[in-house]
Amino acid sequence: MKFVAHITLFILLGPLLVGVVRKTKAFLSCRQGASVFQPFLDLWKLFRRGIVRSTSASWVFDLSAPVVLGASLVLAAATPLWSREVPLPMHFILFLYLMALPRFFQTLAGLDTGSAFGGLGSSREVAVSAMAEPALILSFCGLAYLGGADTVSGMVAVVPPGRIPWRPEVILLAGTMFLLLLAENARIPVDDPATHLELTMIHEAMVLDHAGVDLAMIQLASGVRLVLFSAIVSGILFPQALSLPTFLAIPAAVVKVVLSGALIGAVEAGMARMKLSRVASYLLIATVLAAIALSVRYAG
């Protein structure tokens, strides 16, 4: 029962978060924008559509979308969203490698159709994720050190004692995770989810050949991943919210997701996308922040 509720909340919050990001961007550029519930309608539309697939695609292509969605839901089951009790407590190393699984299948699917754009997107996606990996591992190590636990749910939901509300390493780790949120979820400044230009795309180029139900599953999985990262960032900053009684904790989780959507939208509206060659420096900054957080924790 709890498992179902947990996963359902993730699935419902994913499109909502995407909708909130888009609405914020529209608001900040003085436009009306579509309703925050538009992504639900888009998904509904896609789920009813047939699939057009490349004649040169193999079973890897057919398998990719279900694997992407499935792996994302397993990850969601291990992430604390409204309670520190999660249906599936998971060691953080396993968590990190399960995060790589959908990407592996998605890059293979991008290559599988043989289109130039798919290959372009896949090679970029792999480059970005390879560069993001040190920062991810370091910050998860930092969290584990900080929280004194090695499961994701255990280490996120810990309030370290201290005189000030947030210890410096907590702020540093939250900052790192936010930088990684933008990089791992194909947001500005690393990628532009709204672009129509295939040549500049990273994530979108890879999934260009997916259609219908497959595309819906991939979009749903992207939403779930975005919620997952938001939950980790807000869990680091506001662990108290995870100890609330259920009837308060669930609304609090929704509020946290909406707020992080507004923050992502504000970042996206405020700056241009980086040059592709600069992504390495961006991820290096995230790595350095995580390393500093670790050493601050070690010293203090």
Partner 1 sequence: MRCVHTFDLGNSAPLAEEAFRAFLRETSTGADRLLTLFAEEPSPGRFLLHAVAGGAAPGRFLYACVETSPRSFRTFTDVCPGTHWFEREIYDLFGLMPEGHPELNPLRFHEAWPKKFFPLRSTDAPAPDPRRGYRFLVVRGEGIHEVAVGPVHAGIIEPGHFRFSCAGETIQNLEIRLGYQHKGIESLFPGGPEMGKILLSESISGDTAVGHSTACVRLLEAITAKPADPSAERWRAVALEIERISNHCGDLGGLSTDIGYLFGAAHFGRLRGAALNLLLRITGNRFGRGLNRIGGIGPRVPGIAPEDLMAELGRLRAEMKDVGTTLLDAPSVGVRMEGTGRLLPHTAKTLQFVGLTARASGRDVDARRDFPSPAYVDSPPVNVLLDAGDVMARARVRFLEMRASFDWLSGILAGAMPPGTIAAEGVVPAAGRRLVVSVEEGWRGEIVHAAVVDGEKRITRYKVVDPSFRNWPALSFAVQKNVISDFPVCNKSFNLSYSGTDL
How many whole angstroms separate alpha carbon 150 and alpha carbon 215? 34
Structure tokens at 114: 């043989």
| Candidate segments 46-54, 84-92, 115-123, 245-253, binder of partner 1 by CB under 8 A | 115-123
Residue at 45: amino acid letter: K
Q: Does residue 92 contact residue 155 with C-beta atoms inside 8 Å? A: yes
Which member of 31, 45, 48, 49 binds partner 1 (CB under 8 A)? 31
Position 29 contacts partner 1 (CB under 8 A): yes
Structure tokens at 124: 């970029």
| Candidate segments 24-32, 59-67, 160-168, 216-224, binder of partner 1 by CB under 8 A | 24-32
Q: Does residue 215 contact residue 68 with C-beta atoms inside 8 Å? A: no
Which member of 1, 4, 164, 197 binds partner 1 (CB under 8 A)? 197
Which member of 9, 36, 57, 188 binds partner 1 (CB under 8 A)? 188
SS3 state at 151? strand
Position 299 contacts partner 1 (CB under 8 A): no
**Closest separation between CB of residue 55 and partner 1, Å?**
18
DSSP-assigned letter for residue 84: S
Position 126 contacts partner 1 (CB under 8 A): no
DSSP string, 202-236: SHHHHTTT--HHHHHHHHHHHHHHHHHHHHHHHHH
Position 184 contacts partner 1 (CB under 8 A): no
Position 196 contacts partner 1 (CB under 8 A): yes
Position 195 contacts partner 1 (CB under 8 A): yes
**Closest separation between CB of residue 182 and partner 1, Å?**
12
CB proximity list for 104: less than 8 A, separation 6 or greater: none
Position 280 contacts partner 1 (CB under 8 A): no
Residue 151, phi then psi, degrees to nearest 5? -95, 150
Which member of 200, 212, 238, 254 binds partner 1 (CB under 8 A)? 200
How many whole angstroms separate alpha carbon 197 and alpha carbon 189? 16
**Closest separation between CB of residue 66 and partner 1, Å?**
26
**Closest separation between CB of residue 207 and partner 1, Å?**
14
> Before 168, cis peptide (omega within 30)?
no
Binding site for partner 1 (CB under 8 A): 25, 28-31, 116-117, 119-120, 124, 188-189, 192, 194-200, 268-278
